Structure 1
Amino acid sequence: MGRGILLAVTAGAAALLVVIALLQASGGGTRAGMAAQPRITVNQVGYVPDGPKRATLIAQAQAALAWRLLDTEGKEVASGMTRPAGVDPTARLNVHVIDFSGFTQAGEGYRIEADGEVSFPFAIGRGFYEALARDALNYFYPVRSGIAIDGAIAGEAYARPAGHISAPGKGEINQGDRGVPCLSPERSERVYGVPWTCDYTLDVTGGWYDAGDHGKYLVNGGISVAQLMSAYERALYVDGASFAHFADGALAIPEAGNGVPDVLDEARWELEFLLKMQVPEGKPLAGMAHHKVHDTEWTGLPSLPHEDDKQRRLHRPSTAATLNLAAVAAQGARLFVKYDPAFANRLLKAAERAWHAAQAHPDLHAPETDNMGGGPYADDDVADEFYWAAAELFITTGAVHYRDALVASPYFRGDVFRDNGFDWAFVAPLGRMSLSLVPNALSAEEIAFFRASIVEAGRRFAALQEERAFGQIYVPSNGEYGWGSNHSFAQIGTIVARAYDYTRDPRLREAALEGADYLLGRNALGISYITGYGSHYAQNQHSGWFAHQVDPSLPHPPKGALAGGPNAALQDPFAAERLAGCAPQRCYIDDIESWSTNEITINWNAALAQFAAFLAEQ
């Protein structure tokens, strides 16, 4: 059993036999230790007093069952009957909903008892989402590249030397990311079909490591830094929003106390790296951004950044990467002008260079074949990136030609919200949400349209949630949970939260709060997908240096790290062998080898940070 597993003492052998039978009969997805999960799944951290409070019971009974809410001493403080919900299609389990929303007394150690089972404990109160917002934001410092991680700041377990400053190479000196050349023509021809290369090297030190490997990617770094800045920007313009998580001194970072909001300091670490990835003036494809930088071959587990002895290479620039740079540099320019006008000017110049370069090279795409040593992040439809970049540049500059590009985009008035919210491959919602929030030169009617579209999307997600017995706010139309499904929960939660910002509709607030329950344990596996939160949480995510599972001298991922979550495609061999035939919501295993279900990435934690910042205000 994993760390933190807590079985209720009143749950006897009969209850365990029932859950084993239910899991075995429901179409796969079992794993070691999973049969001992409680059949009552709850938000293992807690519920706010004036919010929705629901749990899900896995039981074979078709009729309603009695439930009791117990306090920390085992005394009954509320009771009622379950609502039978039939078989949940994503879990393939017969379930009941337990609704105890009417109970509002704050306290610790509450449990739900029903059908011979007792849930994990939880609180009713406030404060836990504030902690989650801070921890989700603090995730980024320990994954910085090019800087020694200070144990006095991040925690001694996370201290390490700077990664990719220099390392011993094989046959030659590897300078890490100080002077990285491009792929060789021979390698490029195998990847791109043409012998592309360059005659320069770039210092691309800094930035954040993308996931559990040593790669740094423009498109994933772009959406990640955008969401951190957007969380801060929301606090600037939404009445009642809190700066508490973003203020100078709020985070565990070296820059705390420098007079700049900590979230902007953290964003700058990535923005500086993104600027370094831009092709220099006078070179072919000048102004474009290299798609990524990483090792020429995959590293194993464990693999600490400062010990990486493999050669690094710049990969061919792409239109998607260039437009990501344009969008986030434009957004950063307006946020940093108050604190560092010179940096803001650098950002804006880079953004405009990138925009013009992308217009000159609108179809330079990253292929799926570029997958040796790092992920391909392939994307051959960049209409959404053009829209997002035009939106951020127009907000910052007010220039007519950016407005013209916006109006010409199919996303200007079109639907930009998909059933997974949004991700690095589809960023049009970022443009829509910025245009709806940040003062700009669009007409009042156009901004009202954008806000109405966000409200409509939020209500659509909330309506889908009402049909799901685990309170899922992510309801994919094909019924299958995809890679990073937990990230979709956070992204959709952010959309619903913004809809609430614009309406103050209590139903939207409830939907956002209940959507968080799934991530914190109210799911078919009864696991909190956020490390350090709950009684039973993910802690063996795929990582080369948060790799305690394979090397006990190394730490688990830091508190507040979001696991990727159920992925019905099972792309890694470890999950494919153990989870064949799994129900979509149960295609997950907390093992470091399962990179397709248990990865950690900067874009997933950025989504969690933005969502948690809203939750903390509730």
Structure 2
Amino acid sequence: MQAYAQQNIYINQVGYQKHQIKKVLTGYLASSFDVINVQTGGIAYSGSFSLRAENDVCSGMILYEGDFTPLNVEGNYLIRVHSSINSGITSYTFNIADAVYTDVIEKANKALFLQRCGMEIEAKYAGQFARHICHTEDCYYHPNCEQTGTKSMTGGWHDAGDYGKYTAPGSVTIGILYASYELNKDKWQSDEWGIPESGNGVPDVLDEIRYELNWLFKMQRTDGAVHEKVHTKDYVQFIMPSEGEVPQFIYEVSSTATADFAAIMAKSWRIFESIDNAFAEECLRAAILAYGYLDEHPDIFPEGGFKNPADTKAGGYSDGYDKDERIWAAAEMYLSTGKKKYLSDFMELNRIFKSQFSEPGWINPAALGFYSLLLANDNKLKGIQDALKKGLHKYCQQHIDVAKNEGFGIGMSADDYTWGSNGTVLFKAMNLVMANLVLADKASGELAARHLDYILGLNPNKVCYVTGVGTNRILHLHHAPTVSDLNVEPIPGIMTGGPNKYRNDEALQNVFDENTPPACCFLDNEESYSSNENTIYTNAALQFVATYFND
């Protein structure tokens, strides 16, 4: 019984801001708890538990909740639980501090650098995670392209646990980082990340983004259309990126990739205009060219959206709907040019979306355009901004209502626990953060912070889903460099995919079945690619949310 009890105390293992709401959960009936200062051994706070959920739909658990929000003294703590079952069981340790997420953010920032392709990752920047230059060979045009031959496609970021590079995920990653940069510009000014560009007078987040933008330029054809991805035909095994010499291919152009490209290049003009005007103008020219191609091809292309051809198994990111990408592009093009044509395009597309928000991931980046419009200082947009505020309020209220009845207090339903569910948790948190900011909605801000608590340990699996932080953290990430290097732990600062009720890999199927609660379908196992693999865009969401709440 003791072992069972100890396995059922849930806490944010990284910690809490001093003035943040602070919760602890148990999966068994407990009467009270003490918060113990680890350094002194003294009791810093005492509280009681109350029933939070019976037979929670997402976790299948009975949960009891304790609140220690009044404790705002900086320090390192653990929680001792008292119950008739087994009194004295303790939680993992955690911190309370003003800038408690600094370590998470710094590790996540460096993790993005460590996803770079096409350059040597030197030890002076990467320490034990140094590696040789990779993927310098020219790529072949896949037969589904309209041209033949080869082209140099070095640069950019590896998207996930393998070595594919994609226009849509890369663009969305930048879009999320740009949104965070606009919300928290003072927090993104560091020029000391320890990357090759550090010390050049430009915030390192923008240097990192520029590395990806320089690759994205290579994805555009001379007529403006943009290729979907660069990838091998099949997934590579767990090898270092410099090994294997497996040929990579450039795949056909798509309307989703072209629209994502237009959006992010248009916004890049605004971000870089005062930093490097020549580069900013290059971005805007590319955006205008891409948008012009979209104008000439108003229907989705290829027909039905991009899908992997028959000879390709690796990394599909299939998307059969492009209006969400097009509305993002229209928003960013208007804000960068001021031309009525783009505002008119946005308004026409918004007849479909009706200013309603959804999670801003690669499959539906419309909210990124909505963010840009909400933050714009433009009197012509007042009516649009008012409508977007209503849509955002509706979205957040729905999630606040869901969270009231969800065992771990987050806005996730059972159907949300699909491939990449941790990204869904933080994409939802991004919308909640925007409501906290633009609507002065305190409840949305509190719920967004609870979503971050979930990622950092306050979840049914009692695991910190970010490598290198927390006590019970991810150790066996499905990430080729991590599996194939000689380091004991993964590259730190990487968030894993999260529970997946559909169990899309054999590792999950061997342990769980259709009766397993959806939020519990997770394995820290390198073979579980559908629950334990990373992506750059979900990591960007971690950077966004943690940065907002830090300090």
State the match for 1:159 in structure 2.
130
Aligned residues of 2:16 and 2:100 also touching (Cα < 8 A):
no
CA contact (8 A) 1:369 1:376 kept: no
Correspondences of 1:551-590 after superposition (within 5 Å) = 551=484, 553-554=486-487, 556-581=489-514, 582-590=516-524
TM-score, reference length from structure 2: 0.93
Cα distance in 1, alignment partners of residues 176 and 148 from structure 2: 34
Alignment match, 2:140: 181
Instruction: Please name the residue that 2:106 is paired with.
Output: 134
Give CA deviations for 1:15-46 in whole Å, capped at 9, x if unaligned.
Answer: 21x45xxxxxxxxxxxxxxxxx6211001111
Give the number of aligned pairs: 540
Quote the residue 1:253 is aligned against. 195
Match of 1:105 in 2: 73
Q: Which moved more, 1:460-469 or 1:80-89?
A: 460-469
Whether 1:540 and 2:476 are equivalent positions in the alignment is yes
Deviation at 1:374, TM superposition (A): 2.1
Quote the residue 1:276 is aligned against: 218
Q: Sort the Cα spacing of 1:217 and 1:532 in 2 relative to 1 into closer, same or farther, 3 A.
A: same
Pairwise CA distance, 1:248: 4.2
Deviation string 1:216-244 (CA, Å, 9 cap, x unpaired) is 011111101111122112235xxxxxx23
Amino acid at match of 1:79: S
Q: State the Cα distance separating 1:294 from its structure 2 match.
A: 0.9
Describe the shift of the 1:510–1:371 C-alpha distance in structure 2 as closer, same or farther (beyond 3 A).
Answer: farther
Q: Give the direction of change, closer, same or farther, for the CA distance of 1:412–1:349 in structure 2 (3 Å limit).
A: farther
Partner of 1:609: 543
Q: Distance in 2 between matches of 1:309 and 1:413?
A: 45
> Aligned partners of 1:595, 1:357: CA distance in 2, in Å?
36
Code of the residue aligned with 1:522 in structure 2: it is L
Partner Cα separation in structure 2 for residue 401 and residue 442 of structure 1: 13
Asked if 1:319 corresponds to 2:287, the answer is no
One-letter amino acid matched to 1:602:
I
Cross-structure match for 1:387: 327
Secondary structure at the counterpart of residue 257 of structure 2: helix
Whole-Å separation in 2 of the counterparts to 1:289 and 1:555: 40
Q: How is 1:448-597 mapped onto 2 (pairs within 5 angstroms)? A: 448-473=386-411, 475-476=412-413, 478-547=414-483, 551=484, 553-554=486-487, 556-581=489-514, 582-597=516-531
Quote the Cα distance in structure 2 between the aligned partners of 1:479 and 1:316.
32
Change (3 A) 1:545 1:217: same
| Aligned equivalent of 1:114, options 73, 82, 99 | 82
Q: Quote the offset at 1:530 in angstroms.
A: 0.8
Contact 2:34/2:47 (8 A) holds in 1: yes
Deviates more, 1:598-607 or 1:118-127: 118-127
How far apart in 2 are the matches of 1:567 and 1:254? Answer: 37
Q: Which runs of 5+ in 1 are unaligned?
A: 1-13, 20-36, 166-174, 189-195, 237-242, 281-285
Closer/same/farther in 2, CA of residues 201 and 438 from structure 1, 3 Å limit = farther
Q: Which runs of 5+ in 2 are unaligned?
A: none
Deviation, structure 1 residue 74: 4.1
How far 1:505 sits from its partner (Å)?
A: 3.4
Q: Does 1:336 align with 2:272?
A: yes
CA distance in 2: counterparts of 1:519 and 1:119, whole angstroms: 17
Select 2:16's aligned residue among 47, 65, 69.
Answer: 47
Q: Deviations over 1:552-611 (max 9, x none)?
A: 614633221101010111111111112224211111000111100000111111111111
Deviation digits for residues 54-93 of structure 1 (CA, Å, limit 9, x no counterpart): 111001x4xx623332222443333332111212111111
Partner of residue 283, structure 1: none
Tell me if structure 2 keeps the 8 A contact 1:90–1:583.
yes
Residue 253 and residue 411 in structure 1: after superposition, are their counterparts in 2 closer, same or farther (change >3 A)?
farther
Q: Among the aligned pairs, what percent are the same residue? A: 28
CA shift, 1:514, in A, is: 1.7
2:59–2:407: 8 Å Cα contact kept in structure 1? no
**Closer/same/farther in 2, CA of residues 326 and 413 from structure 1, 3 Å limit:** same
Q: Which residue of 2 aligns with 1:171?
A: none
| Correspondence for 1:228 among 174, 177, 182 | 177
- Would you say the 8 A contact 1:111–1:122 is kept in 2? no
CA distance in structure 2 between the aligned counterparts of 1:452 and 1:525, rounded to whole angstroms = 35
Q: Distance in 2 between matches of 1:68 and 1:271?
A: 51
Q: 1:615 to 1:405 in 2, by over 3 A?
A: same
Q: Which residue identity does 1:579 align to in structure 2?
A: F
Structure 1: how far apart are the matches of 2:488 and 2:286?
Answer: 38
CA distance in 1, matches of 2:124, 2:234: 33
Shift of 1:126: 2.1
Measured after TM superposition, the shift of residue 288 of structure 1 is 0.6
Confirm whether residue 211 of structure 1 aligns to residue 160 of structure 2: yes
Tell me how far apart the structure 2 counterparts of residues 392 and 273 of structure 1 sit (CA, whole Å): 20
Tell me what 2:228 maps to.
291
**For 2:337, which of 393, 397, 410 is the aligned residue?**
397
| Amino acid corresponding to residue 523 of structure 1 in structure 2 | N
Using the alignment, how far apart are the partners of 1:428 and 1:41 within structure 2? 34
- SS of the residue aligned with 2:141? coil
- What is the one-letter code of the residue matched to 1:343? F
CA drift at 1:414: 1.2
Tell me which amino acid in the other structure corresponds to 2:62: N
Q: What CA distance in whole angstroms lies between the structure 1 residues aligned with 2:74 and 2:249?
A: 55
Change (3 A) 1:555 1:311: farther
- For residues 235 and 513 of structure 1, what CA distance do their matches in structure 2 show? 16
- SS in structure 2 opposite 1:51? coil
Offset of 1:411 from its aligned partner? Answer: 5.7
Name the structure 2 match of 1:80. 47
What is the deviation of 1:446? 2.2
Tell me how far apart the structure 2 counterparts of residues 99 and 377 of structure 1 sit (CA, whole Å): 41
Deviates more, 1:571-580 or 1:364-373: 364-373
Q: Which amino acid counterpart does residue 367 of structure 1 have in structure 2?
A: K
Q: Match of 1:600?
A: 534
Q: 1:499 to 1:411 in 2, by over 3 A?
A: farther
CA distance in 2: counterparts of 1:252 and 1:534, whole angstroms: 23
Deviations 1:274-293 (A, max 9, x none): 1100112xxxxx21111001
